[in-house]
């Protein structure tokens, strides 16, 4: 079975400061990892993914995430937060082998960037 933990329900950060949204995962085998963002009354939007290769992946809107296999983590980061980054963020995992394609999501972290 695969699972994702987002230990923080809420993260507050001041505009211009760096932000981190935490994610740890559990999967049998090698993981594919994803971050999605959800704005009110809108669907999930893809931010970035880790499939293989460089542990630091860059995505949309200046976000990046670092895959750490030993700590089974995939934290989302941004060097300088914007008020417009305020949204609900989901980390997701799926196994890289076999026929399963479904994503398993964490419970989400509400990011609030304060002006």
Partner 1 sequence: GAGVSQTPSNKVTEKGKYVELRCDPISGHTALYWYRQSLGQGPEFLIYFQGTGAADDSGLPNDRFFAVRPEGSVSTLKIQRTERGDSAVYLCASSPSASGYEQYFGPGTRLTVT
Minimum distance from residue 17 beta carbon to partner 1 (Å): 26
Q: Which of 10, 29, 41, 70 binds partner 1 (CB under 8 A)?
A: 41
Q: Which of 18, 107, 112, 114 binds partner 1 (CB under 8 A)?
A: 107
DSSP string over 87-108 = EEEEEEEEESSSS----EE---
Nearer to partner 1, 82 or 103 (CB): 103
CB 36 within 8 A of CB 92: yes
Determine the Cα angle at 28 with ends 23 and 31, to 5°: 50
| CA separation for the pair 85, 37 (Å, rounded) | 9
Minimum distance from residue 88 beta carbon to partner 1 (Å): 9
CB 53 within 8 A of CB 110: no
Q: Is 52 exposed, middle or buried (0-12, 13-18, 19+ CB in 10 A)?
A: exposed
- Count residues contacting partner 1 (CB under 8 A)? 24
Q: Which of 57, 106, 111, 113 binds partner 1 (CB under 8 A)?
A: 106
Minimum distance from residue 65 beta carbon to partner 1 (Å): 15
Interface positions, 18-37, toward partner 1 (CB under 8 A)? 32, 36
Binding site for partner 1 (CB under 8 A): 4, 32, 36, 41-46, 49, 51, 90, 92, 94, 99-108
């Amino acid at each position: 079975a695969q699972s994702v933990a987002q230990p923080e329900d809420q993260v507050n950060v001041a505009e211009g400061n760096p932000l981190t949204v935490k994610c740890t995962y559990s999967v049998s085998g090698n993981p594919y990892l994803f971050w999605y963002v959800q704005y009110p009354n809108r669907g999930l939007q893809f931010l970035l993914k880790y499939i293989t290769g460089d542990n630091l992946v860059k995505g949309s809107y200046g976000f990046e995430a670092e895959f750490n296999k030993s700590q089974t983590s995939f934290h989302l980061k941004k060097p300088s937060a914007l008020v417009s980054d305020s949204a609900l963020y989901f980390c997701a995992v799926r196994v890289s082998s076999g026929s399963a394609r479904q994503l398993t999501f964490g419970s989400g972290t509400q990011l609030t960037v304060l002006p």
